[in-house]
Amino acid sequence: MKASNIITLILWAFGIVNLIEPFNGWIFYLASSIFYILLFAHLIECIIFRNKILRSKDSPPVAFLMTLIFGVIYLGSIKES
């Protein structure tokens, strides 16, 4: 697994842990910001790159989930036909 994938997963985990068991102080705001920025950005990518995602070799649910998690990292791995 590439370093960029691991970093993305760590950022998601940081935000999700904060949702389940909120941190104290400024770390709460940092984790919340990271989570919601990632979520919003990747949802927008799913909308903008819908056609590219549907043309990927993965099934549509898997492709959308991978885009939601990894964003442009996954989109870059989709080969144009």
Q: What are the pLDDT digits (tens) for 15-44?
A: 999 999 999 999 999 999 999 999 999 999
Q: Which domain holds residue 26?
A: 3-77
CA separation for the pair 42, 32 (Å, rounded): 15
Q: What is the pLDDT of residue 50?
A: 94
Q: What is the pLDDT of residue 79?
A: 81
Please determine, for residue 67, whether its predicted confidence score (pLDDT) is greater than 80. yes
Task: Give CA separation, 25 vs 10, 11, 16, in Å.
Answer: 20, 18, 17
Q: What is the pTM of this model?
A: 0.83
The total number of structural domains in the chain stands at: 1
